[in-house]
Each structure stands twice: as C-alpha cells, then as structure tokens.
Amino acid sequence: MKHYCYYLLQPDIAAPGLSILVAYSGLTSLNGDSSEGKRIVKYYVESGTSMACPHVAAAAAYVKSFRPDWSPAAIKSALMTTTKSMKIRPVGAELASGSGQINPRKAINPGLIHGLDFDPYISYFCKEGYNSTNIALLTGSKKYQVFKHTKSKRSRWSKLPLNALKASTCK
C-alpha cells in the first residue's frame, strides 16, 4: 500500500450525487472570465460529493425533526443502520459506498441506535495531532487536556474503541 493511502477517508454512507440539478447564482459564471465571455445559467447539472453532502445534511435534519432528543451520534447510527445495500463493482470495492444508500424514512424508526460517548472523539483528535486550541474550538470547552501521542501509520486507521458504543432501543 502506498504511503498516501493512509490519509484517505472512506465513506460512512452513500447519497445521491450524480447528475443533480442545482440552482446556480446569476452573480457567477460557469466558465469564469474566459475569452468566450461569461456563461451564466439559472440551473446546471453537477456531480460529486458537493452534491451528496446536502442530501445527507437534509436527511439528518429530517430525522432530527422527528427525534429532537437524539444526539448527532444517534442520528448517524440511525442513518447508517437503515441504508439500502448497494451492488458495488468491481469486487473488493465494497467499502466504497459505506454502509449503503441513505434511506431517511426508515431512519426515523431504526429499531436500534448506537450512541457514542464524547471522550473517545477527544482521544481520537489527540491521536491525530489536534492541539488544545483546536479541541476547545471543536467542543466549545477548555476542560479537555491534550495528551501527546506518537504518530504511526496505523494511527490514521485507528477507530473509536468499541467499548465507547452504547446501544439503545427506539420507541
């Protein structure tokens, strides 16, 4: 495995992101200031993670509207455990779509959700080299101490500890 592969992220979930019709601002052009002149449109078709992210954010907000007492970790768990399996080719690329294609309606009543304590996230950020200032900005609190951790290639792949997971049933 090449050295740069340790820095790649794998997706948790798949969402619509191919050929999405988007509204485009009349203040910017599609082609910048080219010799052909500015090309301004009201709508445009785009693809990629920039198109998928709003779908996931909207799905999370949708679930939160039905379950206002759920934590972000619980909402993520509900979205991930209610996905539709995807047939991925080539063989060996199963992790390319995370847990599967998002299904917001099913996520409202997932049956089981996994919560997560806050402290393992802090530990993970420490391992990744975040300093006290960064962690205070992320958490809104200065109560967390940053500990020194020697980096290794494996630290990029470290996951949050399983004992940090808390399961609870949904009503």
28 or 169, which is more confident: 28
pLDDT at residue number 170: 45
- pLDDT per position as a tens digit, 67-110: 999 988 899 999 999 999 887 766 666 667 788 899 999 999 99
Give the tokens for residue 33: 């200031």
Strands 20-23 and 43-46, sheet pairing: antiparallel
Query: Does the pLDDT at position 165 exceed 70?
Result: no
Phi/psi at 84 (nearest 5 deg)? -95, 130
Query: Does the pLDDT at position 168 exceed 80?
Result: no
33-65: buried (b, 16+ CB within 10 Å) or exposed (e) per residue? eeeeeeeeeeeeeeeeeebbeebbeebbebbee
pLDDT at residue number 107: 96
Range in 70-74, 133-137, 154-158 the model is least confident about: 154-158
Query: Does the pLDDT at position 2 exceed 50?
Result: no
- pLDDT per position as a tens digit, 25-54: 878 777 766 666 777 888 889 898 888 999
- pLDDT cut 70: percent of the chain above it: 69
H/E stretch holding 56:
helix 49-66
Mean pLDDT over residues 144-171, rounded? 49
